[in-house]
Structure 1
Amino acid sequence: MLEPKMAASASRAKDFCQEMFEKVRPLRDAEMTRLAGRKAASGEPGGLHAWDLSFYEDMLKREELDLDDEHLKQFFPLESTIDQMLEVYSQFLGLSFQRNDSLPVWHEEVVAFEVLDGTAVVGHLFLDQFPRDGKFGHQMILPLAPCFTDGADCCVPACVNVSNLSRPEGGKPALLRWSEMKTLFHELGHAMHCICTSTRFSLLSWAWPMVPWPGGVEQDFLEVPSMALEKFACEPALLARVSRHVRGETIGEGTLVKLQEQDKWMKGIQESRFFAMALFDLEIHSRAPPYAFDGDENLTMQQLLDKIVTKYTGVPPIPGTHPAASWYHMVIGYDAGYYGYGWSDVYAADIFDMLLHSPEGLLSPETGRRLREAILSPCASRSGNDMLTSFLGREPSTEPFLRRIGAVTEATSR
């Protein structure tokens, strides 16, 4: 099942989850100690339970970062924020986005863009931003047309960003929460991957498991470009560029620093939880029940989940709950593939670290051209590992990811 992916085998994917967990475990332990201390300071008896984690994470974040989400979203009016995001991608990737109201759309609220490289149309981007009955309830990119060539004819790729953002009301602009803004950067990263694809065959163009036709990059590489480009959202200089208060004020430097801190808030706990679920997914798809884990045999699926989660997060799950029963990734093509999010994020951090430390600057068109040529344009015509080593000039490393989340420092990573 994993042979067509970068990991190539379940054992390699499991090793990745276990090795990454061991590397983030010290950070997780330090964060758990902080949460336990905050609980004790509140006068609550006993150690930490599963239901304590989010509560005390949020309490500490409010106390230490003091970020007001309702105030913060005033800096992200939807229309101007999207315009600035597209400007960022335009400068970096050498593209231009021209709104074209003559393109056919399926609803009056959908906005259509022609995407040009110089004078040549290389793709189409549609933004379907607001909720409607029967519409998918989150944000995602869906391909509408693949890329392929047939002799002298070329079909350029097209995709849509499906969102469910708040509409403008009472003459006031729609506003994005911080999390929505970051997700939008991520999804537009997928869109850039789709639009920059240049392949001969449609089977090799951009797609993902939820799409009802075959194609696309290896599943555990799918998120690499979008996760790398998403990290633009947390860089103070770029964040200042895309943000603008509804009254025209700029976002303060102190707030920019706090947003960077928020991005890695309790990452040790978060990543440990992720690797627990990723390993559980791999275990249940590697053999029929009963299962075995850490020397325990004859485990039911629930017992397996409890043991993995307890080891990786440091606290047992809430009794009587069955999170695997409502885990929708298992029915949209990510069965035995959930690890791919973490796999992609690790290598995305390596790409972004190179972008961040480029002598030409973060948004250097030259670096963007190299990213297009090495990572975005080939899509599935090259393996993920080949594309990574081509862009990086070396084998990928986990160190930039670990530095980014605070699991290692610059000094200890050398």
Structure 2
Amino acid sequence: MKTVLKNGASALILAMVGAVAPMTVMAADAPVQVAQAETKVTSENPFFQEWKTPFGVPPFDAIKPAHFRPAFDKGMADHLAEIKAITDNRQAPTFANTIDALEKSGRLLGDVSRVFFNLTASNTNDELQALQRDMAPLLADHSNAINLNAALFKRIDTLYAQREKLKVTAEQRRVLERYHLDFVRAGAQLEGQDRERMAAVLQRLAVLSTQFSQNVLADEKEYKLVLSSKDELVGLPDFFVAAAAQAAKDRGDDGKYVVTLSRSSIEPFLTFSANRPLREQAWKAWIARGDNGDEHDNNAIITEIVQLRIERANLLGYKTFAEYKLADTMAKTPQAVSDLLLQVWEPAKIRAAEERDEMQKLAAAEGQNITIEPWDWYYYAEKVRKAKYDLDEEQIKPYFQLDKMMEAVFYTATQLFGVTFTEMKDAPRYHPDVRVYEVKDRKGQHVAVFYSDNFARPSKRSGAWMSSFRDQERLSGTVTPVVINNNNFAKAAEGEPTLLSFDDATTLFHEFGHGLHGMLSNVTYPMFSGTSVLRDFVEFPSQILEHWISQPEVLQRFAVHYKTGEPIPKELLDKILATQTFNQGFATVSYTSSALVDLAYHSLTDAKGLNPDTFERETLDKLGMPKEIVMRHRSPHFSHIFSGDGYSAGYYSYMWAEVLDADGFNAFKEAGNIFDPKLAQKLYENIYSAGGAVDPMDAYVAFRGRAPKVDALLENRGLLGVGSRVN
């Protein structure tokens, strides 16, 4: 997953809306004390000083929560002053005095925003969360003050009308077109009451999105399933027991074992626990995040978000939010998205039914008089895998040490793109678990700084994502990126290596693919830096990198036993590779149902009176959702689509990008070399370094030599030829 915090004026602010209450009013009878306090804060505030850190990374050891509000206030004031300078310019609009000036504006606000929102995601606390709630409407107002600025848009619009005659580079032409489109889509052409209403809608959406994400985090933070008796540990492998003991210790339950709602904790528990009632208890807690009828319940928030998004779309001339959102994607229309998802939905259901029947037979053969329920799926799927392939997760994990898998992603990047990674042990970091690396190119020149934050903790939101503390650009000189990857792996006991599942290792490669997209960026304008591409293209660089984790050349080198140091046996490796399409009916149904429900929410023309639980259930019933499978992200904790606009009406993007990544990796297989130098260079030039400076389909064709074919996706998922919808 990619979290977007961009450079540049409107680009940055548009990305921030939905991520961050009323402005604090100071007492009028204390001017002297306030002035003194402000002077002290300003003189000590790291955001108002040059960062004399290695490569200018944030000085986390010096940044305190109290520094953020003054920095936000000054950053917004400076930004508005810069915008006013543009609009007050009496000279006719030029690319330099308007677009370049816009791209250079808001630097302080960008710096403080990127540090703040990365911390609220990765290592938050009550003080930061309170400020996040306070800042949400203020940043939305700031966004509106720029994106609905009539004088500013008039200058952009004038240049846009002259674009055919302007002497600009291809990237500059695209920057101008992008700015014009972004402003139009933000409501710059609205007038009067419509303009005012758009501002109010965006402000309210920012507040609701922040509240949604904090509610999910609260439910995840507060829940723990404490295990203490031997009966409660039956079936759980040593690596899980050790991680659960560490989780218990971290939460003040020494001598016991804790299962959390982190995916890296809950999924192994559901996979191995022989205690069916406990599996049911844990599973129900997992799917009920944000849906418990308490102060953290998200259902009313969802209803209001969906209705406000409909109104936003209507103000801009669209019938539905999906039509509005998808107009600025590769897919273009809801119908195109629906066609893609339904092409795999029916064959996935057929395959899932076959998988369920296999599990049901196995349970009956063991003398279990049960009907497979959702909390049984992981458990019996693992049993089927062991019976079918003589393979289980407990055999695999000892060969997938986190440290060795980090070496594997670095090796892959080096072989493909020539970049190397050297740990910076003394670099500032915001948490002791974070590791920091300098990235260099083939010539030994500095390229980027990479922050790796891999472990779950109560102060971190769930999931896995990439973001940045600074984006690459050349408009303001040579600016190198500072990129961060976040995962939520269960940390091993002290002194023991953290062991990953194969899925965890794949996630590591996925997020590192996003990371490389940011680190290898080579553009002039901040607007197009790194991952600043269309939403349904942003997952391609991350997903294509996943393919290298399953390649024998990588696994034989880095999948070594944590005790013996012996490389993974060929027999075991062959079994792992043979199971790549195992349980893909379940995985595809789980994902695709989420994407279809997302599309259904945002295809509504009226959400008044919407009950999300009912809507979700009725939508799934119409689709014929198997009762033994639940959506990968149920509505009340579907942060992709309700914690900001990022993936709203866009969760399909992973599958859209999978068409590209499956077809794209086939090029390396066809070349007979997974590190083919010519293909790697094309991948670098057209995808990883190009950012958003090139149309995504043009970029893909330049890399692959032709348009993508969907057959590769279906084949990878083991669905080719399954069901009537597949030709």
TM-score relative to the length of structure 2? 0.50
Indicate whether 1:382 and 2:708 are aligned: no
Distance (whole Å) between structure 2 residues aligned to residue 261 and residue 69 of structure 1: 14
Counterpart-to-counterpart distance in 1, 2:598 and 2:690 = 30
Compute the displacement of 1:338 (Å): 1.0
User: Which residue in the other structure is 1:147 paired with?
Assistant: 472
> Equivalent residue for 1:294?
none
Which of 705, 708, 716 is the equivalent residue of 1:396? 708
Superposed displacement of residue 85, structure 1 = 2.4
Q: Return the alpha-carbon distance in structure 2 between the equivalents of residues 275 and 375 of structure 1.
A: 26
1:235, CA displacement in angstroms?
A: 2.1
Residue 327 of structure 1: aligned partner? 638
C-alpha deviation, 1:330, in angstroms: 2.3
Q: CA deviation at 1:116?
A: 1.4
- 1:80-136 CA distances to partner (integer Å, 9 max, x unpaired)? 331232012111112122223354333444322221112322211112234455233
Equivalent position to 2:653, from 333, 340, 347: 340
2:505 aligned partner: 181
Which residue of structure 1 lines up, in the alignment, with residue 572 of structure 2? Answer: 255
Alpha-carbon distance between aligned partners in 1 of 2:454 and 2:689, rounded to the nearest angstrom:
27
> How big is each residue's C-alpha offset from its partner over 1:203-253, in whole Å with a ceiling of 9 and x where there is no partner?
11134xxxxxxxx11111111111111121122332222211122111111
**Cα–Cα, structure 1 residues 316 and 177, in superposed 2: closer, same or farther, change >3 Å?**
closer
Aligned to 2:559: 243
Q: Which runs of 5+ in 2 are unaligned?
A: 1-324
Residue from 327, 338, 345 that aligns with 1:14: 338
2:409 aligned partner, one-letter code: M
2:584 equivalent to 1:272: no
Q: Structure 2 counterpart of 1:358, which letter?
A: A
* SS of equivalent to 1:357: helix
CA distance in 2 between counterparts of 1:134 and 1:19 reads: 40
Aligned partner of 1:230 in structure 2 is 546
Contact 2:612 2:635 in 1 (8 A): no
**Distance in 2 between residues matched to 1:48 and 1:168, nearest whole Å:** 32
Q: Check if 1:306 corresponds to 2:620.
A: no
1:195 matched residue in structure 2: 519
For residues 56-135 of structure 1, the aligned pairs below 5 Å read 56-117=380-441, 118-135=443-460
Q: How many residues align?
A: 393
How far apart, in 1, do the equivalents of 2:371 and 2:490 lie? Answer: 40
**Distance change (3 Å), C-alpha of 1:49 and 1:174:** closer
SS of the aligned residue for 2:561 comes to: coil
Is 2:368 the counterpart of 1:368? Answer: no
Please give the alpha-carbon distance, in whole angstroms, between the structure 1 residues aligned to 2:461 and 2:629. Answer: 29
> Is the 1:65–1:262 contact (alpha carbons within 8 Å) kept by the matching residues of 2?
yes
* TM-score, length basis structure 1: 0.84
Structure-1 residue corresponding to 2:293: none
Give the SS at the match of 1:98: strand
C-alpha separation in 2, matches of 1:157 and 1:313: 46
Change (3 A) 1:318 1:276: closer
User: Residue 381 of structure 1 aligns to a residue in which SS?
Assistant: coil
Match of 2:453, as an amino acid? D
Distance 2:629 2:494 in 1: 43
Does the 8 Å CA contact 1:94/1:365 hold for their aligned counterparts?
no
Q: Measure the CA separation in 2 of the matches of 1:253 and 1:231.
A: 19
Aligned residue number for residue 536 of structure 2: 220
Letter aligned with residue 395 of structure 1? A
Q: In structure 2, do the counterparts of structure 1 residues 172 and 32 end up closer, same or farther at CA, with 3 Å as the change threshold?
A: closer
Conserved 8 A contact 1:7-1:220: yes
Give 1:311 deviation, angstroms: 5.5
1:358 aligns with 2:358: no
Structure 1 counterpart SS, 2:474? strand
> CA contact under 8 A between 1:124 and 1:158: conserved in structure 2?
yes
The structure with the largest helix share of the pair is 2
Report how far residue 54 of structure 1 moved: 4.0
Q: Is the 8 A contact 1:48 1:315 kept in 2?
A: no
1:25, distance to aligned residue in structure 2 (A) = 4.8
Displacement of 1:55 after TM fit?
Answer: 4.5
Are the equivalent residues in 2 in contact too, given 1:289–1:301 (CA < 8 A)?
no
Specify the alignment match of 1:349 in structure 2: 662
SS state at 1:155 partner: coil
Amino acid in structure 2 at the alignment position of 1:6? M
Q: Would the aligned equivalents of 1:85 and 1:242 in 2 still touch at CA under 8 Å?
A: no
Question: What amino acid sits opposite 1:175 in the alignment?
Answer: L
Q: Percent identity?
A: 26
- Give the Å deviation of 1:310: 4.0
Please identify which structure carries the higher strand content: 1
Report the more deviating stretch, 44-53 or 19-28: 44-53
Aligned-partner Cα distance in 2 for 1:121–1:271: 41
Distance 1:28 1:239 in 2: 29
Q: Deviations over 1:302-358 (max 9, x none)?
A: 455334434556534799xx9322322222332211111111122211111212222
Return closer, same or farther for 1:307/1:46 CA change in 2, 3 Å cut-off.
farther
Partner SS, residue 326 of structure 2: coil
Q: Distance between the aligned counterparts of 1:164 and 1:49, measured in 2?
A: 27
Amino acid at match of 2:460: K
Residues 48-105 of structure 1, C-alpha deviation per residue, up to 9 Å, x if partnerless? 6655544542331232234343443222233233123201211111212222335433
**SS at 2:438 equivalent:** strand
Q: 1:145 to 1:287 in 2, by over 3 A?
A: same
For the 8 Å contact 1:289–1:300, the answer to whether it is kept is: no
Structure 1, unmatched stretches of 5+, are 208-215, 292-297
CA distance in 1, matches of 2:385, 2:461: 31
1:37-56 deviation digits (Å, cap 9, x = unpaired) = 44554566797665554454
- SS of the aligned residue for 1:163 comes to strand
Report the Cα offset of residue 195 of structure 1.
0.8
Cα 1:127–1:53, aligned 2, differ >3 Å: closer, same or farther? closer
Whole-angstrom distance in 1 between the partners of 2:671 and 2:707: 18
Contact 1:199 1:377 (C-alpha < 8 Å) held by counterparts:
yes
**Matches of 1:48 and 1:323, distance apart in 2:** 20
